[in-house]
């Protein structure tokens, strides 16, 4: 579904990504791990065209999207939940979800279908987003992305700032989304938790992919996990 081939990207004169290659299959959850500053968020931004690739190729469903504008890329069927969630604070939850609807060649989610995945949503619909807890806000941000009808969802640190119990709840929701046929590329600092729901994983270090393979193999190999993930593997 998604393929990055030898992608380089930079902020001004500072190169951040070096020869990055990775892939996400249909209906697959893939974890992108690594320390702060490793290049994970920049990889997501490159996919979306927010930090355009300077070289290499990015393909989605077989189409080259490397040079497309961000809004065009989104309309191909790629959803994004940024690390700061970016819900509209003064709008109700229902309005936050409704305005996310857009034409999509993939599954178009209704409010009712989203509520079936996120069982707490029906009780929050009339509440202003600014009055939500961190976990509730993250749930709304993911649900809103689904309302756009994505085939692929990019999640940037979905557990950031959440209590441990809420981290598990959010990761469980990712598993349910996968069950609906949506592929997920998740950037996550809670490496062990992310590996528990992913089929495959990539680890980045200083802008390069240093590991790519089975999430289970990385989770079970303590020496390998300690080498590439350090404290994040705890």
Using left for φ > 0, alpha for ψ between -120 and 50, and beta otherwise, residue 204 falls in beta
Residue 129 backbone dihedrals phi, psi, to 5 degrees: -60, -30
Contact between 103 and 75 (Cβ < 8 Å): yes
pLDDT at 229: 77
Percent helix, strand, coil in the chain (nearest 5)?
40, 30, 35
**What pLDDT tens digit does each residue of the chain (234 aa) get?**
999 999 999 999 999 999 999 999 999 999 999 988 999 999 999 999 999 999 999 999 999 999 999 999 998 999 999 988 889 999 999 999 988 887 777 877 888 888 888 888 889 999 999 899 888 888 899 899 998 889 999 999 888 777 777 777 778 888 878 878 899 999 988 888 889 899 999 999 999 999 999 999 998 888 888 877 774 444
Distance CA 184, CA 72 (A): 19
Contact between 77 and 122 (Cβ < 8 Å): no
Contact between 66 and 73 (Cβ < 8 Å): no
> Which domains occur in the chain, in start order?
2-83+149-233 (3.40.50.300)
Contact between 152 and 182 (Cβ < 8 Å): yes
* Each residue's pLDDT tens digit, 141-190: 989 999 888 999 999 988 877 777 777 777 888 887 887 889 999 998 88
CA distances from 232 to 69, 78, 114, 119 (A): 34, 27, 31, 30
């Amino acid at each position: 579904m998604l393929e990055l081939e030898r992608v380089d990207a930079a902020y001004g004169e500072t190169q951040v990504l070096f020869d990055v290659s990775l892939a996400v299959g249909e209906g697959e959850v893939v974890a992108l791990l690594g320390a702060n500053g490793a290049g994970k968020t920049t990889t997501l931004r490159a996919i979306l065209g927010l930090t355009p690739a300077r070289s290499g190729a990015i393909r989605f469903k077989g189409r080259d999207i490397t040079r497309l504008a961000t809004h065009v890329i989104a309309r191909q069927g790629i959803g994004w939940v940024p690390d700061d969630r970016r819900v509209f604070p003064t709008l109700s939850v229902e309005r936050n979800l409704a305005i996310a609807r857009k034409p999509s060649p993939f599954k178009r989610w209704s409010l009712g279908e989203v509520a079936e995945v996120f069982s707490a949503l029906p009780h929050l619909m009339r509440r202003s987003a600014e009055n939500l807890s961190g976990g509730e806000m993250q749930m709304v941000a993911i649900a809103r992305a689904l309302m756009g009808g994505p085939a692929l969802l990019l999640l940037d640190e979905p557990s950031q700032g959440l209590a441990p119990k809420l981290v598990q709840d959010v990761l469980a929701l990712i598993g349910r989304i996968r069950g609906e046929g949506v592929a997920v590329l998740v950037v996550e600092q809670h490496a062990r938790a992310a590996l528990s729901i992913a089929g495959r994983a990539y680890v980045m270090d200083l802008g390069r992919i240093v590991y790519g393979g089975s999430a289970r193999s990385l989770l079970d190999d303590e020496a390998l996990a300690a080498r590439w993930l350090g404290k994040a593997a705890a």
